[in-house]
Structure 1
Amino acid sequence: MHRVRRRMMSVLAALAMTVGVCLAVPQAAHAVSHISVTSTTVAAGDTFTISFNGTAGFAMTAAGENFYAGSSTLGGLPAFTTIDSCTGNTAPCTNFLTIGQRVPLGDLAEGQAFSGTLTLRVNPGTPSGSFVLRYQLYGGGGEATEDGPTITITDAPPPEADIAVAVTAHPQLGILVPHLTYTLAARNTGPAAITSATVTAALPPGASATNLSAGCTTSTGTVTCTYGPIADGAHATKSFRVPLHLLSLGPVTVTGTRSASAPTDPNAANDSSSATCNVISFILASCP
């Protein structure tokens, strides 16, 4: 009886080992990747970066991470975006047919980790809309296409151009027509080109202005100068004279202020500037 029992236990143990070996046989696994994006709201003309990583569940030949636009009224991803840069690639990143973009990853061994980035620029002029960013690791087979975040495309922000106003002065002294010359400089610090601008100069009480540059006019206590287009990084100047007379004494301060410009000026901190000349007599003055 004991001998039979021992034989049955041996058979059961062998069967358990056989079952265990069968259960341990690896099954075909799906390749898995994960993504994130730097922003889910992107203006036309701007970029966003997709980061991806994962581990190959089985050996793959000529693998790559593919990206598509799903649920989109904008068309396939290559229709409204352009590849700006990528990392983790083993060959140039390219459009995948006409429906997506691809980051080549080369041959991947089973269990091999992979990662990279793809930076896409939304083409200027792309209308506002949204799409679901879809992704897939693929190479002779691969994971099913997955839905990532929804990306919203907005209209490009209106252009801006910052004008920095500077006022300088220098004296012209002597018996004949002594005067102070004031120059109003409008410098475009960008980023867009200026199409037009106006700088208004405030004169000290009792002062008048003569010899105005073209585009400038004067009324009691002010000089107004208009400027045409000014490219990013360029500047334009206008000038006028403040005559001196026998009773001209003390400081003569002129303050110039941007009063209008197009496109919008985003920085009011540099919209105004002043210059002061100290007049001792109509034949002696200094303008620091």
Structure 2
Amino acid sequence: MIRARFTRPFLARLLVVFSAALLAVSALAAPAPAAPASVTGPTGEQVTVSTTTVSPGDAFQLDYFFGNTSDSAQSVLVSGSFAPADAVTFITGTGTSNTTLVSGNPPVVQLSPAARSKAEATVRFRVSPDFTGSQIVLTLSEGSPAVPFGTLTLTTPQADVSTSTTLTGSLLTGTLGVDTAATGNGPAAATGVTLTTRLPAQTTSVTGLPAGCSYAPGTQQVTCTTATLPNGTTTHFAYTANLSALTVGLPLTITTTRTASAPSDPVASNDTSTDTCTVVTGLIVLC
């Protein structure tokens, strides 16, 4: 039998190679950050946005650059407009001594480099914390009167959450088994997901509430929350509603609604679900 013997220097080199391979795989698996984007105006000025993906409350910046390659001084006026107009607020702006920022959202930026020099400015903004749209479009213009020359689009992550409600009847116990569920349909993971379920008026109590759920007898509502709901996953909340004396033939309908989640949910049609059972006798409920 042949036994392989490895020297310490060889093992050290092997460990370095293995570690480098792991780092390379990790880099490939990690999601790439949103890249900046730029547009160039008719006179050669360039406007770059620091990121193309933002969330409500995020800050981002626009960088303005104009390199004058001629033998005489030049000046260019750059203005713009956000749509929706109230999606973004101005934070601050700075620039080289040959730039002028005039108040606005975004401000009008005048870049005036001398011969064979450059002018630069940076303007910072914040996305409104209440913004619920899917994108913000900045249209950039040059001159006065302003002539549009390009757009920059910022997208916001969205997470669709759908609900389901499933009831289970009972024989002789006068109870309803309730199973409500939230499903993450992406594309982003949803956080702070809250489901509110309205129980029948005949509900006297609720038992078996799972963690994250609470019952309000005054409104006959059960509220359930989950901190995170990744794309493609479903979280269930199952419990039992105890009922008072029932009227034969009475339909018992339960409705569940997604009442909170972040980021914004682009599909409202699947936010609510219902299920109905029928009272056969005073103690028998069929679903």
For the pair shown, which has the larger CA radius of gyration, 1 or 2? 1
* TM-score normalised by the chain length of structure 2: 0.48
